[in-house]
Structure 1
Amino acid sequence: MAKGKLSIIKKRESGGYPLNEKRIQELKTLKVIAETLNQATDLQDMLQSVLEELLKVTGLTTGWVFLIEENRTFTLEADSNLPPALLWQEKRPMCEGGCWCVNRFSDGRLQEAVNIIECKRIEDAIENKWGATEGITHHATVPLQAGTEKFGLLNVAAPNKKHFSDEELALLQSVSFQIGTAIKRMKLYQSRKKRIDMLQKLGEFNAKLNVERHEEQLQQKAVKMIANTFQWAQVSLTINGEKDETVTLRDIEDAKEIKMKIKTGNTEGKLIVSNETFDDIDKDVITQLIDHIGITFENVRLDQRGREITLIQERNRLARDLHDSVNQLMFSLMLTVRGTKEMTNDPELLESLNYMQELSQEALKEMRALIWQLKPEGLEDGVVAALMSYGKILGLTIDVDVEGVSDLPSTIEECLWRIGQEAFNNIKKYAGTKQAIVSLHVSKTNVVLTVADKGTGFEIMAGEAMPSFGLRSMKERAELLGGTVEVISEKGKGTKIIASIPL
């Protein structure tokens, strides 16, 4: 018993059971790697730093790290001391094509550190004479992973080294687990940071978009803001059947694309975003963009409709005031003149009274037409019904041709009504005829109103501006809605006005 105790004491005094020097070196290596990983805040910088430290403490000379996506695409994320053959054309051999280790990793067959006997990238470099390999012919490859998550490959080599021992591979495996855990931590950090940044950009986008209240400019402004705010390669936006607006920041091959429909109230459209890649954060932000764009456009539409209603109410009020005051006064004047005529036989006075009666009758007729213009009867039944009613007031006979049925937007209906109204006024005043032909053709893409007569007509010189204020106002009204007005006229053959508005 005493001898046993003495033996144990002597072992303790001599330092106990000494660790193998290789094991000590392995622990030192893992410690250095851990310290390097803990100091990193950027993924690429972290991989570059840890690769250089690993080569330094292991005595190896060359290494590189591939990060590999689920779709098998890979990037050279870090490298150190590559031979000239692999540096050819800005590291092209390391950035293109497949190889044994990448293919095995993508197929799920590479689970642990292994020796690569023949590296296809090095073989291609030698075969194509891209430069010297400096004795690098073989390398070890280790999958970078954390639990069940895999991120890429760590490859290391040294001149004339054709085999890595089990101990070396085990050390590389331990290092790869450390790197994999750090990559997972870094990706989580970057993901959180990206989400915060994207949500902040989304808030800024929403605030800026809400400032714009003009529907005509909103679509173009929105698509430019989306592209510039989020820096996606291409953004296309279509709202309520309008021509799509597209902004391209850069052209890319094999672009990924996300299409989403917009539907809020009466606002419908679609948003198409193209980029090199999309992650779940991008998809979440685009979904929120869709909601906000729909709400903003619907609010602007309702605001504009509210302004239109206010304008109509003001016109109705003015029409009532004119009817109740000026119109009644003109009617009273006519009655007074008529009564005065019955009280005198003076020829000169009767002539003056007759003239006054004619003027008052014409003024009353003009006043009623003005009231009708402010508050057109029948517009709620469609622009053709309103024009027929107005033509009747002017004493015109109207032939009508309607093709296609559609509930036109109020802005387009109002525009066509005003153009037709002005055309009827011109026929009444200048055409020398009481016959007019009206046609309304509605298709999926546009609506065309044609007002024609077979009156006196007039000459239009090619390239010249519209010859009258009324014709110019027709053209301006149509252009505000992206449409056109064409005037065809010839002396003695009548006039045709064609207004086309896109839907």
Structure 2
Amino acid sequence: MSSNPLTEGSILKEIAELLNEGTEITQTLHEVLEKLLQVTGFQIGWIFLIDENGDQKNPKLTASHALPPALSANNCYRMKKKSCWCVNRYRKGELTKASNIIECQRIESALRENDPKNDGLTHHATVPLQAGNERFGILNVGSPNKTHFHKQELALLESIAYQIGTALKRIYLTQKEQDIALHTERTRLARDLHDSVNQLLFSLSLTARAGQEMTAQPEVKDTFQYIQDLSQEALSEMRTFIKQLRPPALENGLISSFINYAKVLDLHIHTKMSGIEPIDPQVEEALWRIGQEAMANCKKHSGQQDIFIEMNTEGSNIILSISDNGAGFFYDKDFEMPTMGLRSMQSRAEEIGGKFQLTSKVGMGTFIQISIPLLKEENQT
């Protein structure tokens, strides 16, 4: 590979241009790996993505190019082993820069088994994919009969890996923003349908029932009965549709929903739940939206990553408490809520007969408590 800085600059430029166009992780990594090998002259490469917040035991082979048959056989089974030298060092935080891998366990296993289809691959270079303090996985490259990587080659691989890490961070953040926007829009649409069409259908059903009671003519009674049956059927379908529009995480309950949303925001959530009865969908929806706004505020303003959520029942009320130990702010309860987000949370609670309480002091964190009657579904429209 040429040591001309201009050549290296043009390599980085080509990689950057390709990464800037990427919007889907797997496709982007496949394309950039092929480009990397093409412009650097290395012949073989593969990328492991490792979710540090998930199952570290299973690095995911996300992209590969020109793997020898000994490594690609049986659906790349050797590449899907849970550990190897580079993955173990990555897990321990010891893989911080591009390194020569002299003893690769995956390649060695093929050599020990005298697999003739190794195509001369005996060594590879490995470099972590990272952006700042965030890590995403490992980039490995090699060539047949190449047993050593020069400092300049490793430095170039580090620069390319940083570009890939930065692109991965951008894509992940974009996906998170899209998920949040989708959840918000689905919830808004479900709420609008409940407050408008759902209520109209319910009113139509009541009117048809009243019509039956006001007439003695059998034909008219049958007509009103038919209208009532149709409105009840439409109401049932509307409720099913509204349920489908609710954020998917709510299907597993509020606490699960909060935990999943905290992961989206990179918050460390601490939950406690006790004595919770089945919650009316309207109440659950309101608590979810309030909790969502509270967690977003914590992420933006508290300066802390820890958030504490507790749910329990007191008498006929369900209590949701959300707090953090962050920056806090000045708040006087004799005045209205200071931000639109807080006013929205208060409004959501009060719309279904609940109470919203806020306590916050500068430097002493923020505490929010919502108390809402346990509405019974049969009393709701």
Q: Scaled by the length of structure 2, what TM-score is found?
A: 0.54
1:236 is displaced (CA, Å) by 5.8
Question: SS at 2:34's partner residue?
Answer: helix
1:234 is displaced (CA, Å) by 6.9
Choose which of 167, 190, 196 in structure 1 pairs with 2:175: 190
Matches for 1:351-430 after TM superposition, within 5 Å:
none
2:145 matched to which residue of 1? 160
2:47 matched to which residue of 1? 65
1:45 is displaced (CA, Å) by 1.9
In the alignment, the residues of structure 1 paired with residue 113 and residue 34 of structure 2 have an alpha-carbon distance, to the nearest angstrom, of 29
- The sequence identity of aligned pairs, in percent, is 38
In the alignment, the residues of structure 1 paired with residue 128 and residue 118 of structure 2 have an alpha-carbon distance, to the nearest angstrom, of 24
Matches for 1:397-476 after TM superposition, within 5 Å:
none
1:107 is displaced (CA, Å) by 0.9
Matches for 1:144-159 after TM superposition, within 5 Å:
144-159=129-144
Question: SS at 1:50's partner residue?
Answer: helix
Q: What per-residue deviation string (whole Å, max 9, x for no partner) do you get for residues 199-233 of structure 1?
A: 2223344445667799xxx9xx9899767855559
1:43 is displaced (CA, Å) by 2.1
Change in 2 beyond 3 A, CA 1:234/1:193: closer
Say whether the 8 Å CA contact 1:227–1:235 is kept in structure 2.
no
Query: Which structure has the greater CA radius of gyration?
Result: 1
2:29 matched to which residue of 1? 47
1:304 aligns with 2:379: yes
1:106 matched to which residue of 2? 91
Change in 2 beyond 3 A, CA 1:141/1:240: closer
In the alignment, the residues of structure 1 paired with residue 153 and residue 352 of structure 2 have an alpha-carbon distance, to the nearest angstrom, of 61
Say whether the 8 Å CA contact 2:107–2:122 is kept in structure 1.
yes
Question: SS at 2:126's partner residue?
Answer: strand
1:138 is displaced (CA, Å) by 0.8
2:106 matched to which residue of 1? 121
In the alignment, the residues of structure 2 paired with residue 262 and residue 205 of structure 1 have an alpha-carbon distance, to the nearest angstrom, of 26
1:23 is displaced (CA, Å) by 2.2
In the alignment, the residues of structure 2 paired with residue 302 and residue 27 of structure 1 have an alpha-carbon distance, to the nearest angstrom, of 65
1:186 is displaced (CA, Å) by 1.8
Matches for 1:2-401 after TM superposition, within 5 Å:
22-71=4-53, 72=56, 73-127=58-112, 132-207=117-192, 230-231=247-248, 235=252, 241=277, 261=311, 266=316, 268=318, 298=373, 301=376, 304=379
Question: SS at 2:42's partner residue?
Answer: coil
Change in 2 beyond 3 A, CA 1:55/1:203: same
Question: SS at 2:121's partner residue?
Answer: coil
Larger RCO, structure (CA 8 Å, separation 6 or more): 2
Change in 2 beyond 3 A, CA 1:88/1:130: farther
Change in 2 beyond 3 A, CA 1:240/1:50: closer
1:30 is displaced (CA, Å) by 1.0
Say whether the 8 Å CA contact 2:59–2:82 is kept in structure 1.
no
Question: For the aligned residues, what is the CA RMSD?
Answer: 4.4
Worse-superposed segment, 294-303 or 101-110 = 294-303
Say whether the 8 Å CA contact 1:88–1:130 is kept in structure 2.
no
Say whether the 8 Å CA contact 2:186–2:246 is kept in structure 1.
yes
Question: SS at 2:129's partner residue?
Answer: strand
In the alignment, the residues of structure 2 paired with residue 98 and residue 119 of structure 1 have an alpha-carbon distance, to the nearest angstrom, of 11
Say whether the 8 Å CA contact 1:51–1:78 is kept in structure 2.
yes
**Number of corresponding residues:** 252
Question: SS at 1:153's partner residue?
Answer: strand
